Structures are given as structure tokens and as C-alpha cells.
């Protein structure tokens, strides 16, 4: 655990430039607007250790799969999140000296991310030879003009005289740090000194993946008036320099606006015109006015989604940080996008779509964003069905296999134990359809497009199981469960359970599907009988003596001991132990059996949940960011409120406190919803199955109260849990809910429970 920023309800701020953990600071101060984003790199550059990163949603490169030993079924390419050309740079010299916080003298450093609207500010006093200059920076990526970035820097001479240059740049000479092959992914096409723009294209590829072309354009302003600096270009780069002389006490404020258009929206030949038009729109209003419009959008979002925690400022900061970072990553504006594990904050993992979206994001977004946002996430998967069919065919199997990692629906990850085996992802895709339908009551998706997805997945399961003659049961061999610290196991309880759930749900929904799609799908009676046979005769590893579901065959043969026996200096084990040791160990990376109890919550007794929780939680090292939240929800349900609170902290402040020692690579965007789930499904005990909204609220010991909003079937509810529980209907038709098992009728203005 490492806490670099001060605790504050709406700010993530620090008075300390941490040169050792600069990358961690950069990750946490990343900002984005769903269209693009960047790490908290410094405008003026920084020669110390740093991870430079700017990312554009949906702009990627298919990088040839390189493995020591090719295995049939491997995808041809890995979908690499590429570092995009940067619009951030404003190099600064004072009396000929480069301002560089890695080497310059400075004082009064302050860096703050305002969570309310993703505004990053920074200030410090530069100390030169006989001169002191205070610098104040601000940046945000607009929510109203998605292609626009606003940066400003104000210099005030506190002492002496300062001859200063500001070198505002556009930089396409960027690389990926983890590319492993020192490759560049961008080819410069054109630099236009007059238009102050550069255009670049991703390298060609042999896989039929479109090349992306981007155009970056900048303008400089002083006092809201455009100024023209000295422009120079080199291949893939543009520099615009302005020079000022400032006497003691004088200030100078420079604004840099940037426009980024990509071939995802604008054809390459039209990009210059489009960017000029957008820049005109930008020029029509001041920085302050743009920031105000941007903030207004955020106000609307927070009105539906803010969570208030009283009595625990760190917990408060954690949940707001997570909500803000999630919304900076995705708010449903572009249906071709999804939510990558690092969002716009790092280049690791590759791909932009993981099962995380369905398993962890969907249940939160359903409640805090308009329904069409979640619907867009579902539609995304339907749109990628051809890729899922392709993936299954690659493995010689029928039906649809959704990818573990993808940009375009086609699997792009090359570890066989993941790509070929972590097939439980398919169940999560289906479960999101169930969740959407159960939460919203909107059956239009599952009756048509969703049904195509469900049947595709069902056909995959039906081909992937095998019938064991010996036991006369169906089995699923050779899988990796959610607990990726086990590979190629047989009969992962979660996978078997969810596969059967999916077949059941598909059969059930098929009977109610739209006639045209049911006809087109052509599921035969024989297929249905086969599915039913699998449902009826699936094998599930269990242990009667312990009264638990067994994670997989042979799991109980392990040297079972609590994760608390691992010496502290060997945690996280994935940074200290060789892979074979991790695999042999009994330690669980993330909820596996418990993930199933979480998903299919209404199917299991409290005693079953308790026995399994008590058995598995002590074995769990939570080295996946996705783990603590699920445990927190279950712990709360089981009345283990202290455990739930501990796990809440871990999920809510995973990045702020760098629990897993890896936030320097980027934030854990897709697990950020976990803190919300821990509060709403955990402490407040919210459930929505069987068309019935229910709560069973509890209050963590050190919290005074917590409040959150829910958007449910056209209603906006406010839930307030303190010494008393108060659920009120802010908007929408009357609603009958259940609190602590008792029916409560809610109407607007009359919603006290």
C-alpha cells in the first residue's frame, strides 16, 4: 500500500512531486473524455522516469503474434493499445534554462485532480539563477466537444527578470514502452505549419484491420485572443514557439487548444477541414466558458450517480475517484467502443474489451447511467457476433466464443491457457443480458439481438462439454476459471455452473423470442434436447464433508493453507513467485466459486454461501483488481460487516493506495465499479432479481452514513443509510420495493421508508 495523494472528498491532490513514484502519480492524475485521454504527464516535459501516454478510443494496431512455439488456434495478431500522438507539450525555458522538474530547483509544488469534472491543475515555483517564476497549469478534455483538449499555463515572475520561451508542440514521434520490439506504430503523413497540424497513420498490417489516420491541430491564445508563434515542423512533429520577457511581478498566461480527429469519424482527406471547423467552434468561446459547459455535463452525471459517505473521508474519496475515472473512460457516446482494463491511462493488457465489462461494469452502469448506456454495451457484443463465431471456429468448435481480449470481436491474446481456456467469459456475456433485462424490465434486446448472442453461446457450450462414460455425466475439461492462478483445470465449478445457467436461460428465452429471429436461428429439437441433457447431467465438483462447492477437480488435494501464511515480503505473489509455484499453491487470485454465488445469488442458501465464503476467502490473495468487490458484497450479505468494510477499502482505493503495486502501469478502470457494487449490493444489500427491487441496508462501523442514487425502471431513487434508512423516490412513477423483507410503497415526495 502506497498513498501518494491527500484525502479529500472531491480532490486527489498532493504537495509532493514524487520522483520515485512519478509513474504512479501519472496514472492517478490521468484524465479522459470517453473519446481520448492521457496520463498525468507534464506539459513542459520531464526527463526523469515517466510513462508518456496519450490514447484515442478505438485506435489500435494489430501486432503480429510472436510466440516461441506456435499452437493451432492462436490469433494472428495481438490488439495493441498504441500510444497516440501527443498534443500536450508546452516546453518552457526561463533565461535559457529548460524547466524540467526532474533537474530544476523548485518549491511549492501542488498537483490536483478535481474529480468533479476531471480538471487537472498543477503549480510550482521554479527557482533559477536570480529568478523565481510561479507556474500554474490547467487541463481538461472537453465533454461538449469531444475532439478538443484545453491546456493553459500561467507564469508569474516572483523575483528577477525572466526571458521565457513556450514551445507548444504536437508530437507524433511516440512509441509504446511495452512494445518489446522497439517498434513505432505511427507513420508521419504530413505536417502543415500554416494550419498548425500534423497528420499520421498507423503502419500497414496484413490482417485486413483498417489503418487509422489521425490529425492533430493546435492554436495558442493569450487573453482569449489567438497568437501566432514561430512554427517549425519535422517529420511527425510540429513546434510553435512564443517568447516573452517578464519583469518581476508580471504574469503571462498562455492557452493551448488542441483538436484531435481520427479516421474512425472523419476520412483522412477531410480531417484538415473538420479540424479547422472544430477549432472555429473552440475559438468561439473562452477557456472559462468551455470549462463551464464541460462542468455542466459532469453535474448532470453526478446528479444521477454521486455516492456520499460520511465518517470515512478515504472511503468517500475512493468511490468518487472511481466513478469519475469510469465516466472519463466511457459514458456510452460511441457504441463502437467498450471499456478497456486501463481505459486511457496506460498501454498494458492490449485490447479494449474484456469480460470485466459485463461482469463488473454493467450492474453499476444499469443503476447510475441512462439505460441506453448499458444497452450500448450489450449491442456492442451483438455487433461482434461474427468475431465470436470466428473464434469458436478457430478452436474447431461450434457456436460463438466471445474473446478474452479484443478490439473488433476477434480474439487477440496469445496465451493458450487464457485464449483457449478461459471460456467462462462467454457466460458473463450472457449474464449481462439477463442483468439488463431483469433490471430494466426491457425485454426488447433479449427477444431479438440478445437471443442471437444467447444461442450462439449455447451452441458453443454444447460442443465444448464432453460426456464422461465412466461417470455418466457431462464435464468441461481444460479450462481456466476466473481464478487465473489455476490453468487448464477440469470441471471448474464456476464454469460448469454458469454454462448450465446459460443453457437454461437460453432455452427459457428462446421460447419467448421474436418469431423472426427464432426462425432464423433454427434451433432444432435435437439441439434443445441435448442442451437439456447437459443441464440435467452436468457434473459439479462438491465436497460433502466440508459442505462446499469445489473450485475444480483435485483442488482439495492441495497443501491448503491460509493466504495469511504468505510472508509479507512475498506479496503480491505474482511479483515474487514463479508461475509453477503459483499454480501449485492453493491461493486464489480472484473470486471463483464465490463469483458464481454472487452472480446466481438467489439460487443458494445462506448456509451454502457462508460455508463457501469461509472456506475460500482465506485462500484468496485478491491479486486481481476484480476480486475484493465480489467478496465485499458476499461478506455484507453474510453479516460480516468488518470484512466487507476491509474489502471495500481495497476495491475503492485499489489505485489511490496502490494495493497491487502495479498502478504505475495505469489505473484498474474495469474494476472501479467494484467499490460501487460493494456499497450498493453489499452494504445496502440491493437486489433486483424476480422483478423486485430489494434492500437490506447495513452501515459499516466507522461510517456515519452513506447515500446513493439509483436509476431503476424510469424511477430515480435516493438511498440514505445512516442510523435510519431512508429510500425516497426523486422522480418517476410509484414503486413498490422491499426493505429488510418488508414491502415499502414509494411515491415522489412521499418516499420515506
Q: Which three cell numbers stand for residue 461?
A: 457450450
Burial 637-670 (b: 16+ CB within 10 A, else e): bbebbebbbebbbbbbbbbbbbbbebbbbbbbbb
**Cross-strand pairs, 241:** 167, 230
**CA dist., res. 453 & res. 381, Å (int):** 8
Q: Of 222 and 560, which CB lies nearer to a copy of itself in the complex structure?
A: 560
Q: Of 40 and 79, which CB lies nearer to a copy of itself in the complex structure?
A: 79
Q: Of 293 and 418, which CB lies nearer to a copy of itself in the complex structure?
A: 418
- H-state helical runs in 538-693: 579-584, 593-599, 606-616, 627-637, 641-652, 673-677
Q: Of 544 and 557, which CB lies nearer to a copy of itself in the complex structure?
A: 557
**CA dist., res. 175 & res. 184, Å (int):** 5
**CA dist., res. 401 & res. 7, Å (int):** 43
How far apart, in Å, are the Cα atoms of 172 and each of 23, 84, 275? 21, 7, 17
**Cross-strand pairs, 496:** none
HSE, CB side, 13 Å, CA atoms: give it for residue 389.
9
Q: Which three cell numbers stand for residue 272?
A: 484538415
From the CB of 373, what's the least distance to a copy of itself, in Å?
31
From the CB of 427, what's the least distance to a copy of itself, in Å?
17
Q: Of 140 and 420, which CB lies nearer to a copy of itself in the complex structure?
A: 420
**CA dist., res. 285 & res. 276, Å (int):** 15
Q: Which residue has the cell 432464423?
A: 520
User: Residues 13, 112: contact at Cβ < 8 Å?
Assistant: yes
**CA dist., res. 606 & res. 371, Å (int):** 31
Q: Of 86 and 395, which CB lies nearer to a copy of itself in the complex structure?
A: 395
From the CB of 203, what's the least distance to a copy of itself, in Å?
15
Report the SS3 class of residue 458. helix
How does DSSP classify residue 360?
Answer: I
**CA dist., res. 314 & res. 7, Å (int):** 6
Of 26, 44, 484, 502, the active-site residue reads 484
From the CB of 405, what's the least distance to a copy of itself, in Å?
10
From the CB of 662, what's the least distance to a copy of itself, in Å?
13
By DSSP bridging, strand 694-695 and strand 735-739 are: parallel
Q: Of 348 and 687, which CB lies nearer to a copy of itself in the complex structure?
A: 348
Report the SS3 class of residue 706. strand
**Cross-strand pairs, 202:** 186
**CA dist., res. 583 & res. 480, Å (int):** 11
From the CB of 552, what's the least distance to a copy of itself, in Å?
10
Q: Of 351 and 371, which CB lies nearer to a copy of itself in the complex structure?
A: 351
Q: Of 440 and 552, which CB lies nearer to a copy of itself in the complex structure?
A: 552
Q: Which three cell numbers stand for residue 306?
A: 454521486
484 tagged catalytic: yes
User: Residues 87, 261: contact at Cβ < 8 Å?
Assistant: no
Q: Of 218 and 394, which CB lies nearer to a copy of itself in the complex structure?
A: 394
Query: What radius of gyration, in Å, describes the C-alpha atoms of the chain?
Result: 27
Which helix (H) or strand (E) covers residue 55, if one does? strand 54-56
Number of C-beta neighbours around residue 546 at 10 A: 13
Q: Which three cell numbers stand for residue 297?
A: 455535463
User: Residues 728, 718: contact at Cβ < 8 Å?
Assistant: yes
From the CB of 64, what's the least distance to a copy of itself, in Å?
9
From the CB of 579, what's the least distance to a copy of itself, in Å?
4
**CA dist., res. 83 & res. 186, Å (int):** 9
How far apart, in Å, are the Cα atoms of 400 and each of 142, 393, 412, 456? 38, 8, 15, 5
**CA dist., res. 407 & res. 381, Å (int):** 11
From the CB of 401, what's the least distance to a copy of itself, in Å?
10
Which helix (H) or strand (E) covers residue 651, if one does? helix 641-652
Sign of CA dihedral 449, 479, 497, 626: negative
The angle at the Cα of 536, spanning 535 to 541, to the nearest 5 degrees, equals: 80
Q: Of 10 and 467, which CB lies nearer to a copy of itself in the complex structure?
A: 467
From the CB of 80, what's the least distance to a copy of itself, in Å?
11
Q: Of 476 and 632, which CB lies nearer to a copy of itself in the complex structure?
A: 476
**CA dist., res. 511 & res. 514, Å (int):** 9
Which helix (H) or strand (E) covers residue 674, if one does? helix 673-677
Of residues 642, 554, 565, 626, the one with CA closest to residue 594: 626
Give the relative orientation of helices 287-305 and 313-329 as an angle to the nearest 10 degrees: 110
Q: Of 381 and 413, which CB lies nearer to a copy of itself in the complex structure?
A: 413
Chain residues binding a copy of itself by CB under 8 A are 65-69, 71-73, 78, 180-181, 394-397, 413-417, 420-421, 466-471, 475, 477-478, 487-488, 490, 553-554, 556-560, 574-581, 583-584
Strand ranges (DSSP E) for 483-613? 542-543, 548-549
* Catalytic residue numbers, as ranges: 484
Amino acid at each position: 500500500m502506497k498513498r501518494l495523494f491527500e484525502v479529500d472528498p472531491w480532490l486527489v491532490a498532493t504537495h509532493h512531486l514524487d520522483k520515485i513514484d512519478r509513474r504512479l502519480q501519472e496514472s492517478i492524475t490521468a484524465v479522459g473524455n470517453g473519446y481520448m485521454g492521457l496520463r498525468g504527464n507534464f506539459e513542459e516535459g520531464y526527463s526523469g522516469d515517466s510513462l508518456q501516454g496519450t490514447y484515442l478510443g478505438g485506435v489500435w494496431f494489430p501486432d503480429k503474434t510472436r510466440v516461441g512455439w506456435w499452437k493451432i488456434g492462436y490469433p494472428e495478431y495481438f490488439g495493441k493499445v498504441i500510444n497516440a500522438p501527443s498534443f500536450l507539450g508546452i516546453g518552457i525555458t526561463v533565461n535559457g534554462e529548460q524547466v524540467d522538474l526532474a533537474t530544476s530547483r523548485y518549491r511549492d509544488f501542488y498537483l490536483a485532480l478535481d474529480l468533479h469534472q476531471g480538471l487537472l491543475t498543477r503549480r510550482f515555483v521554479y527557482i533559477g539563477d536570480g529568478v523565481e517564476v510561479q507556474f500554474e497549469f490547467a487541463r481538461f478534455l472537453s465533454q461538449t466537444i469531444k475532439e478538443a483538449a484545453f491546456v493553459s499555463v500561467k507564469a508569474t515572475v516572483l523575483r528577477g527578470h525572466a526571458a521565457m520561451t513556450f514551445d507548444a508542440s504536437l508530437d507524433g514521434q511516440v512509441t509504446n514502452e511495452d512494445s518489446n520490439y522497439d517498434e513505432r506504430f505511427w507513420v508521419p503523413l504530413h505536417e502543415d505549419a500554416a494550419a498548425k497540424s500534423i497528420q499520421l497513420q498507423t503502419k500497414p498490417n496484413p490482417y485486413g484491420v483498417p489503418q487509422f489516420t489521425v490529425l492533430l491541430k493546435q492554436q495558442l491564445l493569450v487573453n482569449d485572443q489567438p497568437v501566432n508563434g514561430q512554427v517549425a515542423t519535422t517529420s511527425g512533429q510540429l513546434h510553435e514557439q512564443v517568447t516573452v520577457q517578464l519583469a518581476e511581478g508580471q504574469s503571462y498566461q498562455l492557452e493551448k487548444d488542441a483538436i484531435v480527429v481520427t479516421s474512425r469519424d472523419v476520412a483522412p482527406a477531410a480531417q484538415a477541414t473538420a479540424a479547422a471547423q472544430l477549432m472555429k467552434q473552440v475559438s468561439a468561446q473562452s477557456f472559462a466558458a468551455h470549462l463551464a459547459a464541460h462542468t455542466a455535463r459532469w453535474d448532470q452525471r453526478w446528479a444521477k450517480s454521486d455516492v456520499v459517505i460520511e465518517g470515512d473521508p478515504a472511503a468517500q474519496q475512493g468511490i468518487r475517484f472511481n466513478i469519475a475515472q469510469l465516466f472519463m473512460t466511457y459514458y456510452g457516446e460511441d457504441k463502437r467502443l467498450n471499456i478497456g482494463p486501463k481505459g486511457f491511462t496506460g498501454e498494458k493488457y492490449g485490447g479494449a474489451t474484456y469480460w470485466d465489462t459485463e461482469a463488473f461494469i454493467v450492474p453499476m452502469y444499469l443503476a447510475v447511467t441512462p439505460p441506453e448506456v448499458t444497452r450500448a454495451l450489450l449491442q456492442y457484443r451483438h455487433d461482434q457476433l461474427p468475431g465470436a463465431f470466428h473464434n469458436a471456429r478457430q478452436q474447431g468448435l461450434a457456436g460463438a466464443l466471445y474473446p478474452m481480449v479484443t478490439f473488433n470481436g476477434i480474439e487477440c491474446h496469445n496465451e493458450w491457457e487464457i485464449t483457449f481456456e478461459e471460456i467462462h467469459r462467454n457466460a458473463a456475456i450472457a449474464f449481462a443480458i439477463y442483468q439488463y433485462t431483469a433490471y430494466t424490465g426491457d425485454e426488447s434486446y433479449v427477444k431479438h439481438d440478445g437471443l442471437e448472442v444467447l444461442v450462439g453461446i449455447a451452441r458453443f457450450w454444447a460442443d465444448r462439454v464432453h460426456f464422461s462414460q465412466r461417470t455418466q455425466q457431462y464435464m468441461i475439461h481444460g479450462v481456466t476459471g476466473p481464478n487465473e492462478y489455476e490453468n487448464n483445470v477440469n470441471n471448474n465449478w464456476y464454469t460448469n455452473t454458469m454454462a448450465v445457467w446459460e443453457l437454461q436461460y437460453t432455452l427459457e428465452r428462446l421460447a419467448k423470442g421474436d418469431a423472426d429471429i427464432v426462425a432464423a436461428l433454427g434451433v432444432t429439437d435435437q439441439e434443445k434436447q441435448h442442451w437439456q441433457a447437459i443441464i440435467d447431467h452436468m457434473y459439479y465438483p462438491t465436497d460433502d464433508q466440508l459442505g462446499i462447492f469445489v473450485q475444480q477437480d483435485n483442488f482439495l488435494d492441495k497443501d491448503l493453507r491460509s493466504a495469511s501464511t504468505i510472508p509479507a515480503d512475498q506479496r503480491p505473489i505474482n511479483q515474487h513467485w514463479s508461475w509453477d509455484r503459483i499454480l501449485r499453491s492453493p491461493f486464489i487470485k480472484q473470486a471463483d466459486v464465490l463469483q458464481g454465488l454472487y452472480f446466481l445469488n438467489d439460487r443458494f442458501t445462506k448456509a451454502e454461501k457462508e460455508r463457501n465464503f469461509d472456506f475460500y476467502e482465506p485462500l484468496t490473495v485478491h491479486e486481481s483488481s476484480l476480486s475484493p468487490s465480489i467478496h465485499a458484497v458476499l461478506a455484507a450479505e453474510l453479516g460480516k460487516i468488518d470484512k466487507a468494510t476491509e474489502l471495500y477499502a481495497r476495491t475503492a482505493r485499489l489505485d489511490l493506495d496502490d494495493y497491487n503495486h502495479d498502478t504505475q502501469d495505469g489505473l484498474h478502470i474495469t474494476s472501479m465499479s467494484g467499490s460501487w457494487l460493494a456499497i450498493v449490493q453489499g452494504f445496502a444489500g440491493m437486489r433486483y432479481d424476480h422483478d423486485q427491487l430489494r434492500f437490506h441496508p447495513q452501515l459499516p462501523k466507522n461510517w456515519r452514513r452513506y447515500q446513493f442514487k439509483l436509476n431503476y425502471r424510469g424511477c430515480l431513487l435516493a438511498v440514505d443509510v445512516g442510523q435510519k434508512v431512508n429510500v425516497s423516490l426523486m422522480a418517476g412513477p410509484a414503486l413498490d420495493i422491499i426493505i429488510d423483507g418488508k414491502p415499502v410503497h414509494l411515491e415522489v415526495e412521499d418516499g420515506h421508508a
